[in-house]
Amino acid sequence: MRLRATWITCLALLLAAGALSERSWLSVRSCIPEIGPKQIEPTIGQGVLLGILGGFRTVIADMTWIRSYVLWERKDRPGCETLMRTACALDPHARYFWENTGYALGYDMAHWEIRRRGGYAKVPKEIQDHLFKSYARKGLEVLDEGVRLSKGRAALLVFAGQLAEMKLGDKQRAADYYRQAANTDSPPWYAARFCARNEWDAGHPMEAYVWFKTYWLDRLSKDSDHAPDDLELIRDMETHLKINLLSRIPRQAWEK
């Protein structure tokens, strides 16, 4: 009887511990860099397991990244992509991995693929464009995830904007990225300007003007130099859009 009670107590303790563990895991989960089974699978036998288990994440991420260089030299697209994504997953807080993975995917790998298929002369233009856009989207997926997980949000958003603008040709999407970058705590000085330009080029000049004007008034005007180049661009917009004088930004004392 006493023995049975002890076994029951043991089982109860285990169940209670498990229930508590579920609760505690939920509360600390956000503090641990996320890594899902999909990222683990391709490289599980390559020393990556050690990083996942709980130690040396940064070191293993670095080693994985260095190994990806070797594959980059060989233009081994699948291997390179796998290792780069793994490095991002192992240390998702590091902006460097996301940035360069996005770039490699968005700018380089389409060219590798074209060369693999026979070269620029052989691959039809439509296919080439399709590949450029396809890989640009992949690069943007990586950068989107990096924005979510890493700490260098502003920089990654700008890179995403550049990729959307130059490789995808999607001005609206580029504008959205630059807008997000401009709305971060420490945005690059050009982010708002790029947002406005792309929004304008995407065929929404009034929206571009309204947003840029509000942004200048709320943030840029408070800078030490009051961002005169941005104000100049706003003035151009006001002229093009024939904005009435009362709706424009009042003339500044320091304006030429």
Partner 1 sequence: MTFLEAVRQKFFAFLIVLGAAMVVSSVAFRFLDFGHGELKFIADFGFGGMFLFGSILAVVMTAQLFFAEMDNRTALTLLAKPLSRAEFLIGKFLGVWMILGLFVIILSALLGLVLWGRAQELSLLAEQSGRVAPDFSIRGLGIFAVLQWLRLSVVAAIVLAIAAAARTFLFAVILGALTVVAGQLQWIAQDVLLKPTESVLYKSILWLTSRMLPNLQQFNIGDALVLDSGTVAAASVGWVILSGLLYTSAYLLLGALVFRRREI
Examine residue 93 and tell whether it contacts partner 1 (CB under 8 A): yes
Q: Which of these segments, 21-29, 172-180, 199-207, 234-242, binds partner 1 (CB under 8 A)?
A: 21-29
DSSP conformation letters of 87-117: HHHHSTT-HHHHHHHHHIIIIIHHHHHHHHT
Beta carbons within 8 Å of 212's beta carbon, 6+ residues apart: 192, 193, 195, 196, 230, 233, 234, 237
- Residue 59 or 241: the one with the smaller Cβ distance to partner 1 is 59
Pick the binder of partner 1 from 2, 5, 27, 245 (CB under 8 A). 27
Examine residue 73 and tell whether it contacts partner 1 (CB under 8 A): no
Angstrom distance (rounded) from CA 201 to CA 199: 5
Considering only residues 34 to 53 of the shown chain, the ones binding partner 1 according to CB under 8 A are: 36-37, 49-50, 52-53
Pick the binder of partner 1 from 1, 22, 45, 254 (CB under 8 A). 22
Note the residue count of the chain: 256
Pick the binder of partner 1 from 42, 46, 47, 56 (CB under 8 A). 56
Q: Which of these segments, 1-9, 209-217, 219-227, 246-254, binds partner 1 (CB under 8 A)?
A: 1-9
How many residues form the binding site for partner 1 (CB under 8 A)?
48
The position carrying tokens 């000049």 is 205
Under 8 Å between Cβ of 189 and 154: no
The position carrying tokens 């961002």 is 227
Examine residue 31 and tell whether it contacts partner 1 (CB under 8 A): yes
